[in-house]
Structure 1
Amino acid sequence: MSSTGDVKFQYLAAIFVNIVSISFGAYCGWTSSSFLDLSSDESPLETGPLTDQDKGNVAAVLCLGGLVGNVFFAWMAERCGRKISMLWVTLPSLLGWVLIPFARNPTHLIGARFLGGMAGGGVFGVIPIYTAELAEDSVRGILGTFLVLTCNAGVLLAFVLGYFFNYATVAWIVSTLSILFLVCFWFMPETPQHLMNRQKPQEAEHALRYYRNIRSRQSKELSEELQLELHKLRAPENPEKCCDDVDDSVVTWADFVAPTSRKALLIGLGLVTSNQGCGCFAMLNYTAFIFDESGSSLSPTIAAIIVGIIQVVGNIVATTLVERAGRKLLLLISAAGICLSQATMGAHGYLKTLGYDTSGFDWVPVAAFSFMLFIASWGLLTLPFLVIAEILPPKIRSTGNMILMGIMWLLSMTTIKLLPLLSTMWGIHAVISIFSSVSLCAALFIARFVPETKGKTIETILANL
């Protein structure tokens, strides 16, 4: 077990790289209060207040930008390195925030949000890989949860700032996070795994010494540990392919159809489908509507802040428990809890539709919705990114993660666009009931197919797939 001193630079790197995920979280939460200003009669836009269609386009284009950014930055991470790729994420993140105060019509806002989505694609496409490749087995789970924790902290930050400032001032304030990220992360080394994959053993050893905090200690024991870890990074994944005329750095179709890779990709596909199919992320866009349907007297802004706090607290719980309870148990509890919460919300809405007097129980949807977000933050909204980065073989980790995150962005865009349409056709209670069924299927899938990765080396995880 590593001491605190041994892992402090791993924590530092994880904190610094996730500064930009706070910025992306703020993009996700910015619409909550900003749409109130932009759709009012006093809208500063030259084209007048935003229409419902405008708001849908501005909200959903974030996912389209995420899809494009995921492909681009994952490709850059493989070609140029994880560090360089993340530094370039600063550009669309900063430009998106700077464009918002100067927006004069919905098209300008769509462009700004597309850039913010590109940054989000880089965040979810590269940070899990970066974290998994630099972290020791004992802290890999904790560092992996920082991504969603900081993202939700950014959502909460946007909610709180939106309560005190107008939409343009919020954009200016949050834009400083991109600069802060650039300054802090600039000095972090590349991951040892990527450097070794690029045939740079000396640089890989330097990076490994930095992240293991053994740069100035030369004892025999530590030196042997370092050499053993370097040997693991250098060792080929499949000894049968270790031939002089084979370039192990080139990813081929055979790498994807190998039994271990194929199973890892299928498990990853199930996790990203569960992550978006449970509907929690899509329902976040309709927080105010759900509170309003319940008869709550809270203002939409206050309701959003409460939701943001619930998510952050849930993420903190996940960070605390992930190396104690394990990934699989938290994912299972989370999926089951989401299913139960949504079933409760759906039943309440259905009874109300049938004409029953539910006035004495209108607090139930709010309580169930709040519990859903809390329990979702334990696992299904937090841990899939960590587990995917852990189970993918190193050779296809970047490309495989790009494919899975691309599917996630497509599913996210689809659920956000379909939710209001299906709600109009069938009622919000029916849509929530569908989400509940998907959550139940997710729990069964996790129980049957998802491996436990807590405390295991990458080699052990791959051998058990």
Structure 2
Amino acid sequence: MLSKINYTVLAVFAAGLLATSGDITMTWTSPTYSKLYSNDTSINPIGRPITSSEDGWIGSLINIGAMIGPLPYSYIAERFGRRIGLLSISIPHMTAYLIFAFANKVYLFYLGRLLGGLAVGGGYTLLPMYIAEVSDDSNRGLLSSCLMPFWAFGNFLPYALGPFISIKVFNLILACFPVSFFIIFLLFGVETPYYF
């Protein structure tokens, strides 16, 4: 019984890292916009300030992706399992952060925001389902509520780090969250009994 609880807690902790990645994506623009508006080419990787139209696209493409994201990830979860679904959500998160780290054109930021939005939409769909399905009746509420601190930390982290480091370093640090999730969940994440 004790090893089962610890194993479930480890899987939920790993899932929490994916939740953190999702909310990092949501608040990513706050410390980044000031850099993208800068005329200083050592701060702004695009080499020029973004326009208000580009600002709007960077801000809104995440929402477009988030509206679309539940569709493919729900299909993946139903067809191939919740575990594979969650692992596949981490890939666009990793890709988006790496694109942001090395982007030198505004269109790459658009692509990263769209990919991040797809992952956010999929994550908000599959994470609560996964945790509810691997939990016992006695601890389902407790484990489900464990997502809240991870989401809150994901909202806090861009504000705590972003203003003080370069866009490249900032995004390489952020990429560590979905990478860590992928490795831990690949090793310890289990498929849900409901899927089986």
Pairwise same-fold verdict (TM > 0.5): yes
Q: Work out the CA distance in 2 between the residues paired with 1:38 and 1:51.
A: 9
Deviation digits for residues 333-365 of structure 1 (CA, Å, limit 9, x no counterpart): xxxxxxxxxxxxxxxxxxxxxxxxxxxxxxxxx
Runs of 4+ more than 4 Å apart: 3-6
Aligned 1:255-274 pairs, distance under 5 A? none
- The aligned residue for residue 17 of structure 1 is 15
Displacement after TM superposition at 1:133 (Å): 0.9
1:59-108 residue CA offsets vs partner (Å, 9 max, x unmatched): 11111111222111111000000001111112111110000122223221
User: What are the ranges of 5 or more consecutive residues in structure 2 without an aligned counterpart?
Assistant: none
Query: Kindly tell me: are residues 167 and 138 of structure 1, through their superposed partners in 2, closer, same or farther at Cα, counting changes over 3 Å?
Result: same
In structure 2, the partner of 1:169 is 169
The within-5 A match list for 1:25-424 is: 25-42=23-40, 43-46=44-47, 48-186=48-186, 187-195=188-196
Shift of 1:129: 0.8
CA deviation string 1:350-388 (max 9, x = no partner): xxxxxxxxxxxxxxxxxxxxxxxxxxxxxxxxxxxxxxx
Q: What is the SS of the residue equivalent to 2:158?
A: helix
Does structure 2 conserve the Cα–Cα contact (< 8 Å) formed by 1:69 and 1:121? yes
CA contact (8 A) 1:21 1:147 kept: yes
Aligned residue identity for 1:63:
N
Asked whether the equivalents of residues 25 and 154 of structure 1 are also in contact (C-alpha less than 8 Å), the reply is: yes
Q: What does 1:420-435 correspond to in 2, within 5 Å?
A: none
CA distance, structure 2, for counterparts of residue 80 and residue 6 of structure 1: 24
What is the letter of the counterpart of residue 97 of structure 2? Answer: W
Rounded Cα–Cα distance in structure 2 between residues aligned with 1:146 and 1:63: 25
Letter in 2 for 1:41: N
SS in 2 for 1:189: coil
Kept in 2, the 8 Å contact 1:34–1:166? The answer is no
Q: Which ranges of structure 1 fall in alignment gaps of 5 or more residues? A: 196-465
Quick check: 1:26–1:154 contact (8 Å CA) kept in 2? yes
**RMSD, aligned α-carbons:** 1.7
SS in 2 for 1:18: helix
Higher relative contact order (CA 8 A, sep 6+): 2
Does the aligned pair in 2 maintain the 1:22–1:150 contact within 8 Å? Answer: yes
| Aligned mates of 1:24, 1:111 — CA distance in 2 | 16
Normalising by structure 2, what TM-score? Answer: 0.91
How many percent identity over aligned positions? 28
Larger Rg, first or second structure (1 or 2): 1
| Distance across 2 between alignment mates of 1:131 and 1:14 | 6
CA distance in 2, matches of 1:183, 1:163: 29
Q: Report deviation, 1:6.
A: 5.4
Could you list the per-position Cα deviations for residues 199-249 of structure 1 after superposition, in whole angstroms to 9, with x for gaps in the alignment? xxxxxxxxxxxxxxxxxxxxxxxxxxxxxxxxxxxxxxxxxxxxxxxxxxx
Tell me if the contact between 2:18 and 2:90 (Cα under 8 Å) persists in the aligned partners: yes
Q: What amino acid is the match of 1:189?
A: V
How many residue pairs align between the two structures? 192
* Structure 2 counterpart SS, 1:194: coil
Deviations 1:400-426 (A, max 9, x none): xxxxxxxxxxxxxxxxxxxxxxxxxxx
